[in-house]
Each structure stands twice: as C-alpha cells, then as structure tokens.
Structure 1
Amino acid sequence: MTVESPLSGDAAELTHVASKPDPNFVGRSIKPFGRWIVTAILLGVFSSVLLVEAYVNAGFVSDHAIPPGAYDTVPDTILQGGPIIDTTRGAVRSFHLPNRTIALTFDDGPDPTWTPRILQVLRRHRVNATFFVVGAQVSRHPQLVEQMFRAGDEVGIHTFTHPRLSELPRWRQHQEYSQTQMAIVRATGHKAALVRLPYSSTADAIDDANWDLIRDTGRLGYINVMTEADSRDWERPGTDAIVRNAIPPDGKSATVLLHDAGGDRMQTVAALDRLIPLLQQRGYTFTTVSDGLRKTLTNPQAGAGPAVIGNPPASAADERQGFALVTVIQIADETMSLLFVLFIAVGALTVARTFALFALAGRHARRRRSATWSWGPPVNEPVTVIVPAFNEQEGIEAAVRSLAGGDYPGGIEVVVVDDGSTDDTAGIVERLQLPNVRVVRIPNGGKPNALNVGMTLTDHDIVVMVDGDTVFEPDSVRHLVQPFADPNVGAVAGNVKVGNRTSVVARWQHIEYVIGFNLDRRLYDVMRCMPTVPGAIGAFRRQALLEIGGMSDDTLAEDTDVTMALCRNGWQVVYEERARAWTEAPATLRQLWLQRYRWSYGTMQAMWKHRCSVVERGPSGRFGRVGLPLLALFGILLPLLAPIIDILLVYGLLFTNRIETAAAWLAMLGLQALAAVVAFRLDREKLTPLWVLPLQQFVYRQLMYLVLIQSLVTALTGARLRWHKLRRTGSAGVAAPVSRA
C-alpha cells in the first residue's frame, strides 16, 4: 500500500511539534574547518606545555665525580691555578681567595625543603654564601632565590636542567646558561656573573672537554668557579666526614663545595652548623666568591680582574624575558599538576564505574534470569513497527522481512515511511508484497517527522521504532513488548548487535556495543534513569509519546531526547536484553567519525535541553538529579578526561619512569579487559573478538576522544551540526541467527 503525504489531523500536529525549533539550540553557523582550527590550536598549545614540562623536568643526577679525559689543550696556569677562572675578553687567568678566607658554595638548588634550612643556619651564624642554582628550580621557587639575594648571598648559574654539557650542541649549551640567567633576573632583578659547570671539580681536574666549555662561557661573559674543598656531601658519608672534607689546609683559602638540593641534605645541614663556628674559631673569614675575588684584586700582584663580577642589575628587557620564561614554566607546572590530579580522578571514576557496572549489571542479569521473574501477563495486543527510511535500498529488504516474519502472536503491522528517498527504497518494499507491510511516501522532513507520521497511521497502543538498516531476530518483537505488561513502563530499549563484524573497525564497535552500551543500560535500568532508547530497536507506549508531543527534532539525538522526556514525565524506561537487533556499524574510520560526532553532539544537546529537570520535583527532578549527573559524569566527563591516561602514558614512557608508567597503563588495560569479559558473559557473547581489545587502545579510543572533544567545541562555539547520512552495504544481518531459543 502506498500513501502519499498523509499530513492531516494528528499527523500535522505531531509534525509541527517535531519541527518547532527550540530557542536554546539556535546557533550560528560556522565552517567545519573553523572547529578544526580551534581544536588544532588547543592541541598545539597543550602539546607545547607538555614539552616545556618535559624539558624543565629533565632528570639529572646530582653532582658527583666524573673521571677526566685528556689534558692536551688545558694551560698549566689553569691546571695549577686557583678555583676562579677568567676567560672573558680572551683572558686566560685564575685567582685564589685571600688566605684564611672561605667561600661556601652550594649547588643544585634551590630546594623547597633543604634550601630554607641551610639559609637558617647561615643567618644564625651571620654568614653569606654563593649559590649556584639550577634554572628550572629557580623558575619554580623564585622566592627562595630572592630571599638569599636580599640577605646578601650571591647567586650563580649552574645551568637550567643540569645536563652533561659536553654532550649537547653549542646552541643548547647557550640556552642552558641564558635561560638560567633569565630565571635569576625574574627572581632578583639582577644578573649572575658566575657560572659553575655541572659535574665539574677542582681546577687540576679540568680536561679538554671542560676547558672548551670554560672558554666558551668566558666568551659569553661568565666567570667560572671550580672547587678547592669538596665536602662530598653528595655521598652522604656522615656529618663528621663532611666537616672533615670541607676544612682546608691550615691557613689556606678554599671554595667549599656543598649541596642544598639533589636528595636528603640532613647531613649537610648538620655539618654546616658545626663547620662554620669551627672555622671561625680558627680565624677564618667567610665571604661570597665575588667579595673574596674583590679582596684578591686589591693586591697589586693579582693583576687586572674581570670587568663584571657579582650580581649586576638587569635591564628592563632582561626582566621582561625573565618574566616570560618563568610564566611559561609555571603554567607548564600547574598544567602537569592538574593533569596528575585529573589522572587520579579518572582512575577513581574508572574504578568506581567498573565496580558499579559489575554490581548493578550483575544484579540486573540475575534478576532477569531468575525463574520467578516476570513482567506480568503475556502481552498479545497488536504492534505497529515504524521504519523511517531515507535511501536505505541496500538493507531495507532484509530489515522488512525480519520484521514482518516475527513470531509475535499478537500480530505485527510494519509501516515503512519513505522520507523522500532518491533511490528505490520504497519500490523494493512494495515489490515484496507482504500482507502486513505498507509503504508511506512523504517529502523529506527528517527522521523525527517520519516517525511522527508513522505513529498517526496506527491506533495500536504499542509502537516499535526501527532503523531502516536493522535486522530483527524472529522473537525480538515478542521479547521487546513484553515489559509493557507493567502499566508503568512507557518505553523499552532493546539489545543492539553489530552485524558486520568482518573489519577490525566493526569488531571494535562490537566490543563497545557489548561493554559500553548494553552493560550501561543494565546499570541505568536498575537505577531507573535510562537516558536512551536506541533508534535501532525501541518500543514505546503510544500514549506516553502523545503526552510528550511525539518525536522532536530539537536535537540530533532524537532517541535520547524522547527518552529523557519520557523519564521526566514519570514513565519507566527499561532494558530487555533478549530483544536483539542486528545493525550495520560503520566500516571505516571516517564513517565512524561522522556517526559518533552526531551522537555525541546530539547527546549534549539533549542534556542541555532537559537541564531544568535538575531543579524540578517529582519524576523529572529524580531523573535530573540522578540520570543527568550519571550521564554527564560517565558519558561526557570521563571520556573527555580519559585521554589523560594516554597523554601521561606517552609522557611517562618518553620522559619519566618507563617501568612504573607501563605498569600503571597495563593495570588500567587489565581493568578494562575484566569489564569486557564480564560484559560478554552477561550478554552470552563469545570472547573471541576480545583479542583486538589491546589494539583498540591505540586507534579507536583516540578517535572517540577526538570526536567528543570536537563535539564539545562545536557546542561551545554555537555551531549547528548537519545530519550525516552513512553509506550502507546491507550487511547488518550477516551475523544474525535465523532463529534463537
């Protein structure tokens, strides 16, 4: 039977309701590439922040002795000279401090734990020291550097990330100095003239590689400071040994090497508290390196000294650069801290969701499989199945035959609403000449409009809505409508199965359908807050649909929209896992993207549309305060935050502890695998497809992340997303059984 555009009476009213725009969803139209640009910019900025953090957090081993190399190019005057080496302006000279003068020098800081304790000891004994700081640490703790500088201590450069400089290209070496300089400028408003190379030692241990570095720093205007008395506190030999190592030969001067970072410095603090009064009793004077050098230069025999020593004031341009550098690093630090907090939150949410699914889905399965379970008396009243179809010629015949041939005893009427198809969809159905099937041809008006038209063509109280590419099993309708024995049930969600499981992409979706959809529906059923009756297989009480005005086209997820409206109106929505429908999943990543993009965006629209239920009373308020938060938490927030796991996986494998990172990731994968096994067992599915689950983590999950992110960007920018028609091949029923007990 063919009916031409039967839009009159109730049909016209329902169509009007479906077509009326919601002012909440009127958005401006922007070009698709605009959203991609926004997304790309955000990802680029985020990646840059992580790279900055990785650079700043480059792991280093604190100062220790490294065997020297060859001495072929090092002048004897340097090897046999003092610890202060000046190679600025082409000079090659070194200096000792005056006799009985001690310059305490500290490397590797500042450290938020140990530097303040060392400063307390210095202030208690009224002694100043020279701190060779690591730029990355200065950027994080500028207040400590400012504190030491204001108290009269001297600040020198110990590079930005404490690398083995000889292994770096020249431009990276210069960055290590300049970035530390900028961090010092930001903290103090002054520059540093002194530098100490990481892993350096005494002057007589300078090899060719270090001499090349020392000459290069001189060309940059820096004075190098070596050590004369190495306390070896980095070995933690004990307080007595540190004190003994730091005492110079009687009457001699010394630059003493200590550390205020790089590990537990309790022994250093204790030794310092003993060393200072001990040397003061022996007549030693404590000074900073630059002040000691100035005293040396007052001796006429010392010769000319370097042009700049100490901590000269910085220029305004230097201060601006320092501000920019420190700000970027602080943003990177805060971002990484936030990521770790979110990582913990994601882990907690994932574990909570998994155990909630185990508990509630298991409870749902046990209750439904109980011998005493029943919806009530058998439902045998006639059922109308509405099939909205737009260019579905590939699969419409299999779909209609499966619907018309169901074993439901009450009788099945199939209404195919051809929504302005440009192919032979309607003709194929008509040529089947099935007695309980009729075709309705209407101008193209969208899926909600087609469903509303189909509803006006029947008086049956139970309406089943099915996508045009879906194949039912013989007993699907019978199981699907049985819950209507309960008069409180307004809609029933069926069990959607992927029929075309031949490709890897389709297998991934099969796993997702079983785990992410059907397991979730069991949970929502128990919680009585089902958010979506799938368009592929859903049954509705006609009265319930009329009460809410029929299907709406306010969103791109009309199935979610109508389900939320039913819940808010007090109707119970349940899940019947025995009612199975086989659908054709997208076989390519592009098709999958288009489908999920629409789903995600439509779900966000539906949630926004029904947001007022959060503050309402009665059934609407219950759904708003239970269903919407659950959907927002596990359907939007958790998937949006889930990429953090992968981001920190890559970050950890590249820049931090690989073993711990891999172990954490494998633990998360194991939890997902456990959930998958439980879901497949509950759904009575073979476990064989789960072999692709690990591969799913590297392609499919990332695609879903990007889909959700782009959907959110689209929603936030106010854009309207158009409907994307997916290409069908008619393979929905490939895996569907002919009959099932």
Structure 2
Amino acid sequence: MRAPSPQDKQVWPPAPLLPWQDTGAAQPEEGRRKSPSEPPGLSPQPVRKATDPRGHWLLLAVGLLLASGALVLNGYVTNVVGETHAAPPAAGPPSPELERVRRGGPMLNLTGSQVASVRLPAKTLALTFDDGPDPAWTPQVLDALKKHGAKATFFAVGSKIAQHPELTRRIVAEGHEIGNHTYAHADLSEVPGWRLGLELSLTQQALAGATGLHTTLARPPYSSTPAAVTGPQWESLKAVADRGYLLVLTDLDTKDWARPGSAQIVKAALPSRGRGAIVMMHDAGGDRRQTVEAVDRVLGALADQGYRGVTVTQALGMPSAHRQAKPVERFAGAVLNVAQRGSKAFTESLSWVLFAAGVLTLARLGFFAVLAWVHARRTRGGRRRRGRAPAWLAPPPVTVIVPAYNEAAGIQATIRSLVNTTYQGALEVLVVDDGSTDDTAALAAALAFDNVRVIRQHNGGKPSALNTGITHARHELLVMVDGDTVFEPATIGQLIRQLADPTVGAVSGNTKVGNRRGMIGRWQHIEYVIGFNLDRRAFELLDCMATVPGAIGAFRRSALIALGGVSTDTLAEDTDLTMALCRAGWRVVYEEKALAWTEAPTSLGQLWKQRYRWCYGTLQAMWKHRRAVLERASFGRRCLGYLTLFQVVLPLLAPVVDLMAVYSAAVGDPLPVVAVWGGFVIVQALTGWYALRLDGERASALWVLPLQQFVYRQLMYLVVIQSVATAVLGVRLRWHTVRREGTFDASPLPRTPAGTPS
C-alpha cells in the first residue's frame, strides 16, 4: 500500500449522528462561538442547550421488572421457585374420616358434612392420564383411544396447558375430559393455603384461555389409591374440596412412571372379576412409549370382556365436568398462557445469549492476549508488521498542541513535562486556551518558556482548539496532549520515531492513570492497562485502531489538513479522527513506550460524566463512519464490528446477565453461579497479569479486580444504556467537563514502569 500524500485529500462532509439529528453534537456547555483563528469551514452552527433524557431509566426499570417476572414465572412453572416433592407419610393414628376415605371408593365428594365416596359400576373402565399434555406422548395416547373408540379423563398440569393449548383443545374436541392437576405439579400437602389456591386457580385460568372451559374435577399430584392417603394429604384434599372440586383418586395405580415394561403396566391396569375401575397412567413426565403400548393392549383386552372405556363422569352417570368460562376469565387465561410461553422463550433465549456472551468474552480475552504477545515480540525485536521503519537522518521538528479549557490545576505541570523532554529535534508547544474562565492562559504564559506559545480564543470546544493549533503549527509532525496530562522525558521521541514510516499517519501512546491511590483510581488503572493498552496492541496488528487518545497521540499535519481538520461532528473527536485516518488509507500504530500520565476522575459522578461523553461520542463516530463497513478495506468491518459487539451489544445485555445471576443464586444452588463468576474473574486476572507485565506494572494492582465487578462494571454498562438512549431519542449531548484536582502539581508521579520485559 502506498503512503498517502498531502495532496490525497479525502474529506467526508459533516454528518449527523442519526438521520433525525443536526450537527453540532460536540458543542461546549455555553454554545458555539467561532474563533477568529479557526480555519474556515470547520465550525458548525450554534445549537440550543439540551438536557439528558431521563424517561429511559423508567423504561429500564420496567424492562428489568418484566424480565424478573418472566424468570420468576418460568421458574415457578419449572418448579425452580417453590419446588415441592412428595411428603412422607405422617405418623400417628388416622382420624375417623380418613379411615372412611381409605376404605371407600376413588371418587370423593367432601363438600357436604359427611365424607361421600363412590366406586365405578361393573364392566366400566375410566382411564385417567396425569401430568400432560405432552407434545410427544399425548397425541399418541389420543390416537390409541380413538382407535378403540374409548374416552378418558386427562388430569392436566396448568403450565403444560398454557404451553400446549392446541393439545388441550384436541383433548376436548375428541370428547375426553380434563381435570385439574395443579399448575406446577406441586404437592398440595406441603404448600401453604395461598399456594394451594393459586395452583388450582391458575390451572383454571390456563384451561379457560386454551378451551374456554373450567373443570370441576381435581386430582392432587403424588396421590394414588384411597388406601394410600396420608394425614397431610387428607388435609389438602379437604382444602381442595372446599373450593368446589370433586376429587378423583384411583383404583389401580399402574406405576407406569417407573417404566416397568408394557406387560407389567397392562397387568396392573386390568380389573379383576369384572369390577369397574379408575386406572391411573401418565401421558407426560418422561418416556411414555410403554404407556402408549399398554393403552392399546388394555383397551383391546377389555373390549373382549365387555368393558366400556369412558370418562369419570360418564362412568358415574354425572353431568360433564366441563363448565363454560366467562369472557373475562377467557381473556385472563389467554394472557396467562401467552405470558408463560413468552417467559419460557425468553429464558431459553437468554440462556443461549448468556452462553454466547460468555464464549465471546473469553474468546476475546484469549485472542487479544495472543495478539498482544505477538505485538510485544515484534516490538522487542524492533520490527513492525510491515517491516522495520527507516530511521530519521536527523530528528525532525515537532509541534505539540495542548487544547486547554479551565485547566489551571494542572496546565503548568503539563507544559513543564513537555519542555523537559529528551527529544533532540526542534520543539514548539502551542497552548490553545479555549475560552477558559480561570487562570489557565495566564499560568501557561507565566512560565515564560521560549518555545511555548499561548493562543487565546473564544470557547468553541476541544475540536476547535485543536484546529486552531493545527492552523498555527509550524511543523509537519504534530503531537496532541490534553491539559491534564504529563509526558515522560522520552515520550515525544518514542512517538515521533514511528512516523519515520511514511505509511503511518498517527501514533497512539500509552496512557496511564496518575492518581491511582483511591479505589476508583485503581479501577481505572486496571481498565487503562487491560482494556485500553492491551487492546491497542491487538488493534495495530489487525489494522483496526479505533482511537488515538486525546491524552497522547502523534499525527502528520498534512494528513489532518487533507481530512479537513479535526471534525466537530462528535463528542469523541479522537475516535472520529482516527477512523477518518484509517479510512483514508493511513496506518495507525501503538507505541507502548511513549508514556503519558493523565489525571483520572476521582468520584463516581465525575467518572460518569467522562465515560458518558466518551461512549456517546463513540456511538456518533460509529454512525458517522458506518459506510466503512461496505468499503473494500477491512477496517470498517473489523473496527465497527468489534465496537458494536463488545462495546454496545454486550454491555446492553449486562443488566439481564446480572439479574439472571442474582435470580439463579437466590432460587437455586448458588455454587454454580459463584463458580462461573469466579472462573471469569480468574481469566480476567490472568489476562490482567499479562497486560500489567507487558507494561512493566506491578501485578499487586489486581487485588481490586473482584471488587470491580460489583460497582465499576455496573456503572460502565449503565453509561452505555444512557448513551444509546440519548442517541436513539435524538438528544444532542453537551460537553461534560471533569473537575481537575491538580494531581501532578500536588504529588509526584507513580513509579515509572521499567518498560516492556525482555
């Protein structure tokens, strides 16, 4: 690839963030006033103030509430929430009523003052099927019944009715009967009264939503013959009867759920001596192949003996158990059924999304660590991807541009670090005071360095200040540095040496957090080393550098002029400029030895303002350069694809990930959740250890990494949510200033790293 020349002017006209927005997103808080020293054609029109949108936090809360509801509903259906099991038999002598039940028939009417039970007439068979409907086995059972012209009673689980309403409608349409088998197959003898009522009523709602019917029959889960009723079960049977149900137990329990073989099931289902019987089978809950085969054989054998297969109510000559539901009950049931199916689909899709997110995150960490290792080896050997860059015959002159707005706390430390450089070439420093309301300009001029010029202009924003510096720069090679950043003595030389390669249009330096003593500072230190500097090593090898940070970067003036200067379209002018350079064909590289110490925000509020602006500006830049995805060069697909996936999509999913983790730990065994979380922290720690080693930093900084997962991570994904909402709603964000503490005037720099280990 040839090196772009200054005559290769490629200018993208100012583009809005989104189709419904104007330009001018990068305006300072007081609006835009054009500076006389600013190059023509670079200043947008003034814009009115805009406040950040607030309604989306309500939408986020509602979304999380709906997600929580979906998880709880699906957990309730699958017995994760409030799971019950069969209760052990109660000790002690039974009551007289319970004794009568145990000696009576399987059909119980407990609504009167006396216990009433009946048995089926002779030569009458009432097949009953529990735990369905099931899409695999219920249709086969229905086909077997239809083959013999028999009818049966299906004690259906409400959650499965909601999940498979079409099967429920088929059961009713073919003349069979449906009974209530609770909503989540809960042991009613083990739940409180409110849960018992909820189980029964939800099933009725689901049945009404699917078929428009209610039922008067009920069979509690884990029940069997009257003789097997325990004391706790007796209490629950009375509670069910109090709600108007007729209770149906069984004469013959085939225990087909144990899959003893179809022959054994047939043997258990055949009444003796021509007696009538209610037979219990199952059409769900596992492999029911043996049950289906047994149904066919039982009906065939009993037909020869003169038996008739009917529903429970038909066997006793009673009216149908089905009752028409009211319209409002049908509507409520339909809503419940849709909600349950939606919760199941949501939970299943979320599981796949979480799995994919975990795999992508781990793959990214591993892949970028490998690329960083390759980059370190090439750098250590003095080689770059396209070969070793030729050395300068003599150190070229350099202009350093320092845009400054209310930087009185640290501007003198910044200028001193620039002047006290070991770089041997000619050096000029331009401090562009962008309408500061403090003593920034006076403090810069008071230093009275011969090679430092202070240029004052009306407040126009950082891009305007940079453009002013570019216009007044005397030299081709430019270094840009923020007014809260200080350089190491060798930094300028390390940056400039990469520009000896004529294909390189910009160089990113290694930004480090100077005020890292507090917890917030330590978190940012970890993020800068792992999340920024490690990534830039990989981005250089992949030719998809997204950002040369404003804190430290070197550029060719001719390349910037060819682009029309620094764009004022976005709040992330550094990202916008870097993407434009890459699209113009310039290489952008990373120089890890070019160290710059920056003052990071010291409070969560200040950190929020900074990252909000960064994230929003990055979204603007991504939208502005979206057509790069279709260009022949792979930069757009790699860079924008990476940013979209890892800096937009995955952070937007992060709240649901946390919600899922908390939910799983609360309702189930927390050990798997803790194990997964611990595994991710270990992988991050290993990657962080390697990144710190490459930067010559102490690995002891990693002790704050686990704590970072509980505050810092949440803050970062909330920033993304806020930024995306701001962009989608079309609100133009103001420039958020961060309060300066004067870190480098008040205290010495942290220990200077020893450099990349050899």
Say whether the fold is shared (TM-score over 0.5). yes
Partner of residue 72, structure 2: 51
Post-superposition offset of 1:104:
1.6
Post-superposition offset of 1:64:
5.7
Q: Deviations over 1:233-260 (max 9, x none)?
A: 2333333433333333433222222222
Partner of residue 54, structure 2: 33
Post-superposition offset of 1:472:
1.2
Opposite residue 227 of structure 1, the aligned amino acid is T
Distance 1:225 1:412 in 2: 95
> Which of 711, 715, 739 is 1:727 aligned to?
739
Distance 1:228 1:158 in 2: 18
Residue 715 of structure 2 corresponds to residue 703 of structure 1: yes
Taking a change above 3 Å as real, the CA distance of residues 537 and 63 of structure 1, as seen in their structure-2 partners, is closer
Partner of residue 330, structure 2: 319
The worse-fitting range, judged by mean Cα deviation, of 74-83 and 411-420 is 74-83
> Which of 430, 435, 440 is 2:450 aligned to?
435
Opposite residue 363 of structure 1, the aligned amino acid is V
Distance 1:89 1:709 in 2: 60
SS at match of 2:366: helix
Partner of residue 456, structure 1: 471
The worse-fitting range, judged by mean Cα deviation, of 443-452 and 722-731 is 722-731
8 A contact 1:195–1:224 mirrored in 2 = yes
8 A contact 1:492–1:575 mirrored in 2 = yes
Post-superposition offset of 1:20:
5.2
SS at match of 1:485: coil
The worse-fitting range, judged by mean Cα deviation, of 519-528 and 244-253 is 244-253
How many residue pairs are counted as aligned between the two chains?
715
Opposite residue 505 of structure 1, the aligned amino acid is I
Q: 1:60-71, aligned counterparts within 5 Å? A: 66-68=88-90, 71=94
8 A contact 1:233–1:259 mirrored in 2 = yes
CA RMSD in angstroms comes to 2.7
8 A contact 2:39–2:468 mirrored in 1 = no
Identity rate, percent: 48
Post-superposition offset of 1:58:
2.0
Partner of residue 134, structure 1: 157
> Which of 615, 636, 639 is 2:651 aligned to?
639
> Which of 529, 544, 549 is 2:564 aligned to?
549
Opposite residue 678 of structure 1, the aligned amino acid is Y
SS at match of 2:39: helix
Post-superposition offset of 1:448:
0.9
SS at match of 1:162: coil
8 A contact 2:186–2:221 mirrored in 1 = yes
Instruction: Provide TM-score, normalisation by structure 1.
Output: 0.90
Post-superposition offset of 1:432:
2.6
Taking a change above 3 Å as real, the CA distance of residues 712 and 266 of structure 1, as seen in their structure-2 partners, is same
SS at match of 1:94: strand
SS at match of 1:555: coil
Partner of residue 225, structure 2: 202
Taking a change above 3 Å as real, the CA distance of residues 55 and 27 of structure 1, as seen in their structure-2 partners, is farther
8 A contact 1:500–1:506 mirrored in 2 = yes
Distance 1:557 1:322 in 2: 51
> Which of 11, 22, 38 is 1:12 aligned to?
38
Distance 1:63 1:230 in 2: 19
SS at match of 2:199: helix
Taking a change above 3 Å as real, the CA distance of residues 577 and 63 of structure 1, as seen in their structure-2 partners, is closer
Residue 263 of structure 2 corresponds to residue 263 of structure 1: no
The worse-fitting range, judged by mean Cα deviation, of 669-678 and 604-613 is 669-678
Opposite residue 325 of structure 1, the aligned amino acid is L
Partner of residue 128, structure 2: 105
The worse-fitting range, judged by mean Cα deviation, of 463-472 and 635-644 is 635-644
Taking a change above 3 Å as real, the CA distance of residues 430 and 6 of structure 1, as seen in their structure-2 partners, is farther
Instruction: Provide TM-score, normalisation by structure 2.
Output: 0.88
Distance 2:754 2:218 in 1: 81
SS at match of 2:351: helix
SS at match of 2:324: coil
8 A contact 2:50–2:734 mirrored in 1 = no
SS at match of 2:236: helix
Partner of residue 677, structure 1: 689
Taking a change above 3 Å as real, the CA distance of residues 670 and 259 of structure 1, as seen in their structure-2 partners, is farther
SS at match of 2:59: helix
Distance 1:73 1:17 in 2: 96
8 A contact 1:473–1:736 mirrored in 2 = no
Distance 1:372 1:601 in 2: 36
- Structure with more relative contact order (C-alpha pairs < 8 Å, separation 6 or more): 2
Taking a change above 3 Å as real, the CA distance of residues 713 and 89 of structure 1, as seen in their structure-2 partners, is farther
Q: Deviations over 1:199-222 (max 9, x none)?
A: 223223434433333333333222
Post-superposition offset of 1:496:
1.0
Residue 362 of structure 2 corresponds to residue 351 of structure 1: yes
8 A contact 2:695–2:753 mirrored in 1 = no
8 A contact 2:52–2:733 mirrored in 1 = no
Distance 1:269 1:667 in 2: 46
8 A contact 1:476–1:581 mirrored in 2 = yes
Opposite residue 148 of structure 1, the aligned amino acid is I
Distance 1:735 1:86 in 2: 85
Opposite residue 315 of structure 1, the aligned amino acid is K
Opposite residue 648 of structure 1, the aligned amino acid is M
> Which of 432, 442, 465 is 1:417 aligned to?
432
Residue 742 of structure 2 corresponds to residue 716 of structure 1: no
8 A contact 1:236–1:267 mirrored in 2 = yes
Distance 1:404 1:734 in 2: 17
Q: Deviations over 1:375-433 (max 9, x none)?
A: 32136112121111222222222222111111111133222222222222223323333
Partner of residue 305, structure 1: none
8 A contact 1:73–1:208 mirrored in 2 = no
If each structure's helix is expressed as a fraction of its own residues, which one has the higher value? 1
Opposite residue 248 of structure 1, the aligned amino acid is P
Distance 2:122 2:689 in 1: 77
Residue 693 of structure 2 corresponds to residue 668 of structure 1: no
Taking a change above 3 Å as real, the CA distance of residues 436 and 313 of structure 1, as seen in their structure-2 partners, is same
8 A contact 2:68–2:659 mirrored in 1 = no
Distance 1:65 1:214 in 2: 14
8 A contact 1:58–1:655 mirrored in 2 = no
Taking a change above 3 Å as real, the CA distance of residues 193 and 99 of structure 1, as seen in their structure-2 partners, is same
Partner of residue 500, structure 2: 485
SS at match of 1:638: helix
Distance 1:38 1:416 in 2: 44
> Which of 232, 236, 256 is 2:255 aligned to?
232
Opposite residue 38 of structure 2, the aligned amino acid is A
SS at match of 2:149: coil
Distance 2:343 2:450 in 1: 69
Distance 1:483 1:18 in 2: 31
Opposite residue 611 of structure 1, the aligned amino acid is R
8 A contact 2:98–2:234 mirrored in 1 = no
> Which of 622, 630, 635 is 1:623 aligned to?
635
Q: Deviations over 1:339-379 (max 9, x none)?
A: 12322321332233233313322222211111556432136
